[in-house]
Amino acid sequence: METLYPGIYTLTFGTPEALTPVALRDFAPAVDALEGLPALPCPFAAADLRFRTTGRGCQVELPLSGFEQLYGFGLQLKSFGQLAKKKTMRCNADPVADTGDSHAPVPFYVSTDGYGVLADSARQVHFYCGANAKPGQTERRMTIEIPHAQGVTLYIFAGQNILGAVQRYNLFSGGGAMPPAWGLGVWYRCYTRGKRPEIEGFAQEFRDRKLPVTVLGLEPSWHTKAYSCSFLWNEDNFPDHENFVANMRAMGYQLNLWEHVFTHPTAALYEKLLPFAGEYAVWDGLAPDLSLPEARALFAGYHQKEFAEKGVSGFKLDECDGSDFTGGWSYPDAAAFPSGLEGERMHNLIGLLYQHAIRRAFAPLGERTWGLVRASGALAAPSPFTVYSDLYDHRDYIRGMVNMGFSGLLWIPEVRNAAGMEDFIRRLQTVIFAPVAMINAWPFPLPPWKQVNDALNHAGVIMENTLEAEAVCRSLFELRSALAPYLYTAFRKYQTEGVPPIRALVLDTPEDEDCWNTEDAVLIGDSLYFAPLVAGETEKTFYLPKGQWVDFFAPGSAPLEGGKNYTFTYDLDHYPLFVRAGTLLPLCDVQQFIPVRPQFALRPVYYGAAPTAPVAVALYEDDGHSLNAPGRTVRLVMQPGGSCSLERTGDGTEMYTIAGGQQ
Amino acid sequence: METLYPGIYTLTFGTPEALTPVALRDFAPAVDALEGLPALPCPFAAADLRFRTTGRGCQVELPLSGFEQLYGFGLQLKSFGQLAKKKTMRCNADPVADTGDSHAPVPFYVSTDGYGVLADSARQVHFYCGANAKPGQTERRMTIEIPHAQGVTLYIFAGQNILGAVQRYNLFSGGGAMPPAWGLGVWYRCYTRGKRPEIEGFAQEFRDRKLPVTVLGLEPSWHTKAYSCSFLWNEDNFPDHENFVANMRAMGYQLNLWEHVFTHPTAALYEKLLPFAGEYAVWDGLAPDLSLPEARALFAGYHQKEFAEKGVSGFKLDECDGSDFTGGWSYPDAAAFPSGLEGERMHNLIGLLYQHAIRRAFAPLGERTWGLVRASGALAAPSPFTVYSDLYDHRDYIRGMVNMGFSGLLWIPEVRNAAGMEDFIRRLQTVIFAPVAMINAWPFPLPPWKQVNDALNHAGVIMENTLEAEAVCRSLFELRSALAPYLYTAFRKYQTEGVPPIRALVLDTPEDEDCWNTEDAVLIGDSLYFAPLVAGETEKTFYLPKGQWVDFFAPGSAPLEGGKNYTFTYDLDHYPLFVRAGTLLPLCDVQQFIPVRPQFALRPVYYGAAPTAPVAVALYEDDGHSLNAPGRTVRLVMQPGGSCSLERTGDGTEMYTIAGGQQ
């Protein structure tokens, strides 16, 4: 048992494989932050852990205390508490059952006992979370099986509590991802068959109608070939694309381009990548082995030169998972890759390797990127990508919101079509509080607030209540815009302290067992509580954690006492959104887009009994877009009476001004 | 490449594992039948097959012709044609997606090109059915990956056509299972909490109401402990159980007992089985390693002495699969068993090993048994068990009817609760034509024809139209009873020639490509065509295969010309059921139960234009219940004008008499 950092222990059993998530990591641990943490004893004695090799690979057994709940394993959409379950870490598209299969499986779990365990393997690791005892015995253990491997290294993260263990895991991963400020604006992905005139039409309409949108996404139509991908602008669809990009940027938009990794024979990269390609083609395109520095450099260099340097801000990385549940379109698990990886591990790694390659297209320019990806995995916290899915169950999506924080992931419970207006609005309310607030309208010629029904949208039939729908969207987009300073600061805490910006209640109050099974509410930052509604719910029973909470929509109202369930009735415009009593919430004035070099005019609102002394909140500021931008923490102070001021020390970019305040 | 039997080839690559389906088979190949088949060349040259070992195990690639469809892989409920798919052979409860997971995965596929391939492995074999080419190539191959193994033996079954390949596979398996005649009667599984008075109440009611039922099933309440199982009669629930069994038999009922394999510490078998148990308990019961002759003999001997010799006719074998989709209640894939098997292979084998053990409880008595099982696998054709499932989608169940015949399996698409009367009746119509015709009313205190709604059934609320519902059931039960001679003869053909008694259209007419995708109709025996309806369907479009077909419900009607689609409207009492024109259908008079020593009074019906010469059909007869009973084929002849006779040669048990006939 080796102490790696204070409270982080590592233990190697047998002969681990060479190519693992830790070995292939692209981010160094956040050493300074880790070294500043207190020493904590390891939750296990080495003698408590039992290892053996088997005909299938190897396995380690770890003790369970008998009174704990377990969470994690990545983006689990089908369940929350994992005790007594079997979970298999297999990355694939559209996982439909509670098997562990996920867009972003992570061989890491945390316990309410205040520890976390990472099994450093890219294999389809199986976790048997204490379902079975041995005959005649009662003790239940965690059994971690690593197929095809003769050993494994475990990383054990101690914590004063479960959040502490998660923080250590995130800091070991490199600290959380820090978005460019524009990434926190509203995103809109345009119709998949849209050409330049249609996209420019959307862009103009959003500005004309005062719908604050910052990022526009282009879908496959920008490629000359999309399945597989050519990564070449389609000049038929986007004539003079450089001019198009410049126009969009001039209107304040950031552009995000859809692609996937399978490289079409007509791609400029094809011949160069061929020596680094896997054994099988997918959609007749090669599968680059991005674990090889040469392949990654080729991929990154091309994206830098052709896109990053030409004004594109980021990418949506599709199809980088597997197809176990979707017919088998991807490469087989046994497919050979030049690095020595085979399909099994590549499926679990390619999402991350792809993220690393794309990030490296922007890094040389000193710019942050912020993108979407359909697959991720272990140690992903610093990677500037949010996981999305083509699944579409709203409750599953909410469960993703609750689970993402356990495993260093960001997740968007997207919205596109809907069963009706109520469904659309409830889904939009959920996504407005996600790491990326996006309407993923790729299937739609018309924005969904004009028509939520897929067939009618294609038929051009505009809903009667489209103006009401647009107003709801505008209001939610504006709410998102107003939260940007709060969210930016929460992300900074993710980056420097490893605290997930959006997280399950149990992470903050593990001593409150009523939170252990709360899978339908999250904390956003340290001061906001959010319990999304789904279509059909007009009355909602929700659990407020201990403490005092004020209704976001009624700042002057009496606080509710947490630690119990409440049942309220909600109209379509409202839902359980609460602010911790005593919070100065740093809202800002709405802008139609968040610029690259952002300026936020603060209009903070105080939640709680009228203060008799100054109240304050810390905000993070920097230039909002550069990698390694110097930054600082600003103190926003409100005097009893409501006048506000900013307290800064030293030089630096000033991101905030005061526009007003409300008590 | 070794020729094993005419048209059956075997080829070993690398070093196969010792414990495989062929190595652990309990039935010898039907050598006489196999040796009588014509020699056929192997569809592959050895040089066309490519083998390699990998870090994950090994794999073989086989050619695909580019114009063929593939079927098989066991009880696939989610798909029919398998070309271009990935299928994993993993046995588990409640498989929910089209992944290959199944109650009865079989590493065997057949092609419309007229061949079949068995990969002899109990591993979670992956079949990649030609989804991917190599970069820059167009050829698609079948890739069979056997994880954790360093070699594999393939068995290649040639055929003049696809049915010929299936027949060879079934004969290699030992020939199809031959039911006792009583097994073809109607089954009813009684309420899971039913005690002796309730069961006797059902028994009397069925006789009083003239509902022909032959087999009664008891659910867990007969055990003193059921999860895990004690295999001990619960005298509180079934006082004087020997008298109970005798009474039931005296009323003409056969008794079938529910159990599973996990053995409770209070079981008489527990201490004896403990040395042969797997590493992990399930529901605190031991998991016997039934691949060991000692364990199998203990299990079989106990069941012989305590049940078979005391009048029990068979068992329903539950929970003998795996729990990948159901939370992980079973033993881990890496769990060690004394034979050297581990959980992975045991999950894929235990259903079959369990069947073998139970069959051996009856074999020493010279009696056939006929039972239910939730898991099966390779080479299962001779095993006297029908696979059932707790899944409940009617269309999936119909797909099971269509798929079972490709892989030597029998399947019951069961019926219990329903969304309403229509749903209940449509489901019952499907199950009446299954290998076992059973109402699986275990959740219900009242028979479902009194109340199909689960909650209302428990509340004792009888439906207003219960008498109509009862009449529908009676009519369908009677139809099943009338088909017994026809079905018995079809099963004999399964046993001796390997022709599945219920099978997809494509097996008989592979040259008709319109049959390649017909996944909602089956042939039953050689002369019946059945396309089940599901709730909501009043109009049905169905494909009739080439030939001429007469509506079963209108024997005198004009034949329809097959080879095309028909669309008809159906009331609740009817559905597409057709008889091949020119068939003398050997129906019989209804009996309230099929006795152990059956006598069938034939009342055949001729379908087609009025015959001008005698028409005939062959029927198989024997004593109806003994293993290895001498039997013979009887010729049932109808003269123009309608008088019927039976033509027999030699001595033997006479199973049939003539009651009448209809032209």
The overall average pLDDT reported for chain B is 97
Q: At what angle do helices B196-208 and B241-250 cross, to 10 degrees?
A: 10
Residue B133 tokens read as 């080419």
Residue B62 Cα, gap to closest chain A Cα (Å): 15
- The yes-or-no verdict on residue B66 having pLDDT over 90 is no
Residue A431 Cα, gap to closest chain B Cα (Å): 28
Q: Which residue of B has its CA nearest to A147?
A: B56
Number of alpha helices (DSSP H) and beta strands (DSSP E) in chain A: 13, 33
Residues of A in contact with B336 (CB under 8 A): 54
From the list A277, A325, A333, the residue facing B99 with the nearest CB is A325
Do the chains contact at B286 and A135, CB–CB below 8 Å? Answer: yes
The helix or strand, by DSSP H or E, that contains position A63, with its residue range, turns out to be: strand A57-63
- Other Cβ atoms less than 10 A from the Cβ of A651: the count is 8
CA dist B586 → B183, B186, B602 (Å): 18, 18, 6
pLDDT value for A278: 97
- Mean pLDDT of the B80-106 span: 95
Which of the four pLDDT bands, split at 50, 70 and 90, describes residue A345?
Answer: very high
Q: Check if the beta carbon of residue B84 is closer than 8 Å to that of residue B196.
A: no
CA distance B121 to B103: 17
pTM equals: 0.95
Q: Check if the beta carbon of residue A112 is closer than 8 Å to that of residue A69.
A: yes
Which of the four pLDDT bands, split at 50, 70 and 90, describes residue A390?
Answer: confident
Number of alpha carbons in the 13 Å side-chain half-sphere of residue A637: 9
From the list A129, A286, A336, the residue facing B135 with the nearest CB is A286
CA distance A14 to B43: 45
Residue B633 Cα, gap to closest chain A Cα (Å): 46
pLDDT in tens, A84-140: 999 999 999 988 999 999 999 999 999 999 999 999 999 999 999 998 899 999 999
Residues of B in contact with A126 (CB under 8 A): 332-334
- Other Cβ atoms less than 10 A from the Cβ of A456: the count is 14
- Mean pLDDT of the B187-212 span: 97
Residues of A in contact with B147 (CB under 8 A): 56, 147-148
Q: Write the DSSP string, B33-91.
A: HHHTSPP---SS-GGG-EEEEETTEEEEEEE--SS--EEEEES-SS-S--TT-EEE--B
CA distance A329 to B131: 6
- Mean pLDDT of the A147-153 span: 98
Q: Which of B87, B212, B101, B209 is nearest to B144 (CA)?
A: B87
Q: Write the DSSP string, A500-559.
A: -SEEEHHHH-TT-GGGTT--S-EEETTTEEE----TT-SEEEEEEPSSEEEETT-TTSPP
Q: Which residues pair with B204 in a beta bridge?
A: none
Q: Check if the beta carbon of residue A280 is closer than 8 Å to that of residue B134.
A: yes
Integer distance in angstroms from the first to the last C-alpha of chain B? Answer: 54
Place of tokens 């294609």: A458
Q: Which residues pair with B370 in a beta bridge?
A: none
The overall average pLDDT reported for chain A is 97
Q: Which residue of B has its CA nearest to A275?
A: B135
For testing contact with chain A, the best of B17, B86, B393 (most A CBs within 10 A): B86
From the list B98, B134, B344, the residue facing A280 with the nearest CB is B134
Which of the four pLDDT bands, split at 50, 70 and 90, describes residue B327?
Answer: confident
Which of the four pLDDT bands, split at 50, 70 and 90, describes residue A80?
Answer: very high
Do the chains contact at B282 and A128, CB–CB below 8 Å? Answer: no
Q: Check if the beta carbon of residue B332 is closer than 8 Å to that of residue A86.
A: yes
Do the chains contact at A132 and B282, CB–CB below 8 Å? Answer: yes
Do the chains contact at A325 and B97, CB–CB below 8 Å? Answer: yes
pLDDT in tens, B622-646: 999 999 899 999 999 999 989 999 9
From the list A55, A86, A286, the residue facing B324 with the nearest CB is A86
Do the chains contact at A55 and B342, CB–CB below 8 Å? Answer: yes
Q: Check if the beta carbon of residue B307 is closer than 8 Å to that of residue B314.
A: no
Residues of B in contact with A137 (CB under 8 A): 281
Do the chains contact at B132 and A57, CB–CB below 8 Å? Answer: no
Do the chains contact at A86 and B323, CB–CB below 8 Å? Answer: yes
Do the chains contact at A324 and B99, CB–CB below 8 Å? Answer: yes
Do the chains contact at A134 and B280, CB–CB below 8 Å? Answer: yes
Q: Which residue of B has its CA nearest to A274?
A: B135
- Other Cβ atoms less than 10 A from the Cβ of B142: the count is 20
- Mean pLDDT of the B90-107 span: 95
Do the chains contact at B147 and A145, CB–CB below 8 Å? Answer: no
Q: Which residue of A has its CA nearest to B328?
A: A86
CA distance B7 to B498: 14
pLDDT value for B663: 82
Integer distance in angstroms from the first to the last C-alpha of chain A? Answer: 53
Do the chains contact at A126 and B55, CB–CB below 8 Å? Answer: no
Number of alpha carbons in the 13 Å side-chain half-sphere of residue B494: 29
For testing contact with chain B, the best of A20, A60, A86, A126 (most B CBs within 10 A): A86
Residues of A in contact with B327 (CB under 8 A): 84-86, 98, 131
CA dist A109 → A61, A96, A140, A142 (Å): 14, 21, 16, 11
- The yes-or-no verdict on residue A650 having pLDDT over 90 is no
Residue type, A131: A
In degrees and rounded to multiples of 5, residue A516 shows phi and psi of: -60, -30
Do the chains contact at A86 and B336, CB–CB below 8 Å? Answer: no
Q: Which residue of A has its CA nearest to B142?
A: A332
Burial grade of A601 (CB within 10 A; 0-12, 13-18, 19 or more): middle
- The yes-or-no verdict on residue B453 having pLDDT over 90 is yes
Q: Check if the beta carbon of residue B195 is closer than 8 Å to that of residue B445.
A: no
pLDDT value for A661: 86
- The yes-or-no verdict on residue B388 having pLDDT over 90 is yes
Residue B65 tokens read as 């012709």
Which of the four pLDDT bands, split at 50, 70 and 90, describes residue B120?
Answer: very high
- The yes-or-no verdict on residue A210 having pLDDT over 90 is yes
Residue A113 tokens read as 């006992």
Residue B267 Cα, gap to closest chain A Cα (Å): 13
CA dist A328 → A93, B66, B80, B131 (Å): 10, 18, 15, 6
Residues of B in contact with A148 (CB under 8 A): 55-57, 147-148
For testing contact with chain A, the best of B58, B59, B99, B348 (most A CBs within 10 A): B99
Residues of A in contact with B57 (CB under 8 A): 148, 334
Residue A345 Cα, gap to closest chain B Cα (Å): 11
CA distance A17 to A35: 28
From the list B87, B277, B333, the residue facing A135 with the nearest CB is B277
pLDDT value for A366: 98
- Mean pLDDT of the B455-461 span: 96
ipTM for the complex?
0.93
- Other Cβ atoms less than 10 A from the Cβ of B209: the count is 15
Residue B284 Cα, gap to closest chain A Cα (Å): 6
From the list A126, A134, A284, the residue facing B281 with the nearest CB is A134
Q: Which of B433, B420, B642 is nearest to B523 (CA)?
A: B433
Residue A576 tokens read as 């359980």
- Mean pLDDT of the A137-144 span: 94
Q: For B509, which DSSP code?
A: -
CA distance B325 to B397: 18
- Mean pLDDT of the B498-516 span: 97
pLDDT value for B661: 86
Residues of A in contact with B277 (CB under 8 A): 135
CA dist A265 → A229, A330, A339, A550, B138 (Å): 9, 17, 22, 58, 13
Which of the four pLDDT bands, split at 50, 70 and 90, describes residue B292?
Answer: very high
The helix or strand, by DSSP H or E, that contains position A250, with its residue range, turns out to be: helix A241-250
- The yes-or-no verdict on residue A358 having pLDDT over 90 is yes
- The yes-or-no verdict on residue A327 having pLDDT over 90 is no
Q: Kindly tell me the sign of the dihedral angle through the C-alpha atoms of B443, B445, B449, B453.
A: negative
Number of alpha helices (DSSP H) and beta strands (DSSP E) in chain B: 13, 33
Do the chains contact at A325 and B265, CB–CB below 8 Å? Answer: no
pLDDT value for B650: 85
Residue A395 Cα, gap to closest chain B Cα (Å): 19
Q: Which of A402, A584, A429, A582 is nearest to A508 (CA)?
A: A402
Counted across chains A and B, CB pairs separated by less than 8 A come out at: 141
From the list B99, B129, B134, the residue facing A281 with the nearest CB is B134
pLDDT in tens, A370-384: 999 999 999 999 999
pLDDT value for A663: 82
Q: At what angle do helices A466-482 and A421-432 cross, to 10 degrees?
A: 10
Do the chains contact at A136 and B85, CB–CB below 8 Å? Answer: no
pLDDT value for B196: 97
CA distance A150 to A145: 11
Secondary structure of residue B358 in the 3-state scheme: helix
Q: Which residue of A has its CA nearest to B145?
A: A334
With pLDDT > 90 as the criterion, what percentage of chain B qualifies? Answer: 96
- Planar angle of CA B188, B193, B195, nearest 5 degrees: 80
For testing contact with chain A, the best of B56, B134, B274 (most A CBs within 10 A): B56
